[in-house]
């Protein structure tokens, strides 16, 4: 039953990713060319509303459906991993034109070469796990 809730949230998210065109390679390219407000508007408005939602949840100590208080785990302090990891991610995001959510949306939409991208992403994650202790964090 609980899994059905997550499936429905995922379906909603997938539809939004496709219909917003955030899953379009062209929109990502255009964003990095600063030639349209579209992607900045999406991220910016999501963020503005997101900040308000998080503040309300924190101040009112709201509970989730399991009954516990909604908690936010702070990200661990570091610079190197976020900057280097972020740059590597950005290189891939611009090349493949898809981040990890839209990849799955595009698969559902029937763009099957995205399977190669997903395979690459799984491989990249795996290799990161193997090299983790040798990288600056």
Q: Does 60 bind other proteins (CB under 8 A)?
A: no
Nearer Cβ to other proteins (47/59): 47
2 near other proteins (CB under 8 A): yes
95 contributes a contact to other proteins by CB under 8 A: yes
Least distance (Å) between residue 59 CB and other proteins = 13
8-17: long-range pairs with CB below 8 Å, 24+ = 13/101, 14/101, 14/104, 14/105, 14/108, 17/101, 17/102, 17/105
Residues between 117 and 136 that touch other proteins (CB under 8 A): 117-130, 132, 135
For tokens 């997903």, the residue is 118
Q: How big is the CA angle at 94 (ends 89 and 99), to the nearest 5 degrees?
A: 60
Interaction pattern, residues 19-48, with other proteins; x per rule: CB under 8 A: xxxxxxxxxxxxxxx-xxxxxxxxxxxxxx
Provide the greatest CA pair distance for the chain: 46
Three-state DSSP class for 33? coil
Q: Which is nearer to other proteins, 59 or 123 (CB)?
A: 123
In the set 59, 60, 61, 87, which binds other proteins (CB under 8 A)?
87
> Shortest Cβ distance from residue 37 to other proteins (Å)?
7
- What's the half-sphere exposure (Cβ side, CA atoms, 13 Å) at 62? 10
Number of residues that bind other proteins (CB under 8 A): 116
């Amino acid at each position: 039953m609980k899994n059905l809730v997550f499936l429905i949230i995922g379906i909603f998210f997938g539809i939004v990713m496709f219909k917003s065109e955030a899953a379009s390679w062209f929109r990502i390219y255009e964003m990095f060319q600063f030639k349209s407000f579209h992607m900045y508007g999406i991220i910016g408005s999501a963020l503005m509303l997101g900040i308000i939602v998080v503040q309300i949840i924190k101040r009112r100590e709201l509970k989730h459906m399991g009954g516990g208080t909604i908690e936010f785990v702070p990200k661990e302090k570091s610079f190197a991993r976020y900057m280097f990891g972020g740059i590597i991610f950005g290189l891939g995001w611009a090349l493949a034109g898809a981040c990890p959510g839209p990849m799955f949306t595009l698969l559902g939409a029937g763009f099957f070469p995205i399977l190669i991208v997903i395979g690459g992403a799984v491989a990249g994650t795996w290799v990161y796990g193997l090299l983790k202790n040798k990288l600056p964090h």
